[in-house]
Amino acid sequence: MLRALLVLLVMASSASAATWHVQADGLGDVPTIQAAVDSAAPGDTLLLADGTYRGDGNRDVSVNKMLRIWSESNDPEACIIDCEGSSATPHRAFSIAGGSDDPDISGLSVVNSWQAWGGAIWAEPPGVDVRNCIFSGNTHGCVFIADRGSPSVISECVFRDNHAYSASAVFVYYHHSTIIIEHSLFVDNNSEWTTVTVDDDYGDLQVRLNNCTFVGNSGYYSAIENVGSEDCELNNCIIAFGAGESSPCYDCYINCSAFYENQPDPGWLPPWGSGNFTGCPSFCDYLADPPDFNICSGSPCAPGNHPYGAECGLIGALGVGCVCGPSRAEAATLGSIKSRFRE
């Protein structure tokens, strides 16, 4: 219903904008996602029907104009781009060229990509919005943003079981811009270095991670590494069960965030910022398959429950989803988190 209303609003906002319907079986208005991109004019909307999209034309899609690429159902578990990539046959989902003026990708899953620098999405400036998407089983990371000028937004996304040398989920590079990552879940990603990398050659890239949850990620810095940005902040995030050789976060200002059982120092807290604490986040059901990373009503991450009385509001990507019981408040282990989350 919400997606249908959004589509009506988009169509009403511009009488000249068209909507292109794409189906995984090729029986839509055009046979593939690439054909829809090529046929569309700037400002058009591509609606992808539920299904699994594979093969030429549905991967390595080149986008060079402002488009909305949305799943029709807004259900990323039902609308999947399977890149079927490997070291022998590398593929990614989307390459977004410079000058495309802030395209919008929403409601999709991208799986099994294998491509250097952004296994799933590679985006040049001036920006990209990625919302309500799932990235799973991708190699060489998921989203690479080389941005200058327009802000980019990653919102309400899930990154799970992705792999890379540098950044297993998101790599942000360049300057003169703002990158916002919000209300997103990062689970069981592994890298030699980190989950999110910020690389700013000029020191003027503004980065904000707001209300994100990191669980069971591994890398030298298990959550985020900032190289060069003088304006990197984490606000209201949960970082738990990270497996690393150093602190989970490097060189970002951190506020109102919860840290729990991150290796090699389970009691680590950032030396800067305010409202940070160590404590079990009390997920609703981390032993479920898949786990439920909502927090229970008594969680220290729930609004009004901060252990030191700070007025932080909600901490983490997901809100209160259950009433606390003994099994939800007790500590978990990294092994149990990983074994339950993997299919």
Q: Is the pLDDT of residue 65 over 70?
A: yes
Cα first-last separation, the chain: 30
CB 260 within 8 A of CB 278: yes
pLDDT tens, residue by residue, 276-286: 999 999 999 88
Q: How far apart are CA 262 and CA 247, in angstroms?
A: 8
Segment 86-93 mean pLDDT: 95
258 Cα distance to chain centroid: 19
Q: How much of the chain, in percent, has pLDDT values that exceed 90?
A: 69
CB 102 within 8 A of CB 78: no
pLDDT at 329: 41
Report pTM. 0.90
Q: How far apart are CA 274 and CA 172, in angstroms?
A: 25
pLDDT at 282: 95
Q: How much of the chain, in percent, has pLDDT values that exceed 70?
A: 87
Q: How far apart are CA 121 and CA 132, in angstroms?
A: 14
- Higher pLDDT among residues 272 and 313, named by residue: 313
- Ordered by start, the domain boundaries in the chain are 83-279
- Higher pLDDT among residues 188 and 340, named by residue: 188
Find all residues with CB under 8 Å of 103, minimum gap 6, and list them: 63, 65, 66, 67, 68, 69, 96, 128, 129
CB 279 within 8 A of CB 305: no
Segment 178-189 mean pLDDT: 95
Q: Give the mean pLDDT of the chain.
A: 88
Segment 240-253 mean pLDDT: 94
pLDDT at 331: 46
Q: Is the pLDDT of residue 327 over 50?
A: no
